[in-house]
Structure 1
Amino acid sequence: MKLKKLFPILLLLISFSFYGQGEKMREKKEQIKAMKVAFLTTELKLTSNEAEKFWPVYNTFDDKQFELRHQKMKSFRSRMNDGTLDKMSEKEAIAFLNQMETTEEEIFVLRKNFIATLKGIIPAAKIIKLRKSEDDFNRKLLQQYRDKGHRKE
């Protein structure tokens, strides 16, 4: 078989492989999201009226927060780990630091607006409990990940 005929087939197989990995990641993210919804629902004890208003607002916030944290911060981390950090001029470092601060501020403003919106939906005590429950869920998820890693050894 000629290389010209083999190359498109190889490219197709590789792209299916990457697509499959992307699908696994999406499935895993959806599983985690479902677990989080169940956990938060149990912890917050939302009424049906509260839940009806809460979940669309929360999901929008969560998606935006995820995007900020994982898209922008991912590029920051890669830049910090690719060896160029030591070669940056002071001017480049200041610009990079400003970008990081701007992203942190965006996350802060996003959460602040989210909380302001929630004040019209659920009582303040449940908003505080939401923050604690999110932290508890993240801790629980991290512990499960650690436990799973130890079993493989």
Structure 2
Amino acid sequence: MNPFAAFFSIIAAPRRLALAGALLLAAGGHAQAQGPRQQLRAARAERLSQLDNARIAFFTSRLSLTQDQAQRFWPVYNEFITRRRALNRASRSLKREQIEGLTDQQIRENLTQTYATRQQELNLEKEYFDKFQKVLSLRQVAQLLAAERDFTKEVIKRVAGTPAMGAPE
């Protein structure tokens, strides 16, 4: 079964549905007491939590992680993701600058910083390739790279509303 489908079917189980409904009602009353900005943060945090849970189910299934491997893998992977996100934020902030108002020297510095950030991303991936091999087999490390791409594609499909992988069309 598709890990996304499994994840979402667990949520839809009757007992959990009743619990989720009760939690939503309780959260709804609390959300009304919060300001709009706090509500947006809470909603974003909830979506990220759901996404993380789906990622865990997807990767655990795709990599066929044993319980021991999973306990050792997830802290390393979460550390990797945190560091990669920081580099991505830095890279995005460089790309947002409008070049019309910059001098040639500033453009050169911006591009140099962009290349340096991309090199840091590559160095990070190489560093964690070594760390992942201490927890996973080489085959599982290769499957991890494919699972990351496939998970991203699946999330984009779901956000766009297209049929999920393996789902009947």
Same fold judged by TM-score > 0.5?
yes
Q: Quick one: percent identity of the two aligned structures? A: 21
TM-superposed deviation, 1:66: 1.6
Is the aligned partner of 1:22 residue 2:41? yes
User: CA offsets, 1:98-130, max 9 Å, x none?
Assistant: 111121112111111111111111110000000
Deviation at 1:89, TM superposition (A): 1.3
Q: Name the larger-Rg structure.
A: 1
Deviations 1:6-29 (A, max 9, x none): xxxxxxxxx922122122112111
Q: Which of 31, 34, 53 does residue 53 from structure 2 map onto?
A: 34
Confirm whether residue 77 of structure 1 aligns to residue 95 of structure 2: yes
| Structure of greater relative contact order (alpha carbons < 8 Å, 6+ residues apart) | 1
Q: Can you list the C-alpha shifts for 1:7-54, whole angstroms capped at 9, x where unaligned?
A: xxxxxxxx9221221221121111111111110000000112211111
2:136 is aligned with 1:122? yes
Report the secondary structure of 2:100's partner residue: helix
Q: Does 1:67 align with 2:81?
A: no
Per the alignment, in what secondary structure is the counterpart of residue 73 of structure 1? Answer: helix
For 1:134, which of 148, 153, 169 is the aligned residue? 148
Q: Which residue of 2 aligns with 1:88?
A: 102
| C-alpha RMSD of matched pairs (Å) | 1.6
Moved over 2 A (4+): none
State the 1:137 CA deviation.
Answer: 0.5
How many positions carry a matched residue from both structures? 129
Structure 2 counterparts to residues 105-120 of structure 1, below 5 A: 105-120=119-134
Unmatched 5+ stretches in structure 2: 1-33, 163-169
Residue 97 of structure 1: CA displacement?
A: 0.5
Please list the CA deviations of residues 45-76 of structure 1 after superposition, one character each: whole Å capped at 9, or x if unmatched.
0112211111110111111112221x213312
Looking at secondary structure, tell me which structure has more helix per residue. 1
> How many angstroms does 1:87 deviate by?
2.6
State the TM-score, normalized to the length of structure 2.
0.71
TM-score normalised per structure 1: 0.78
Structure 1, unpaired ranges of 5+: 1-14, 149-153
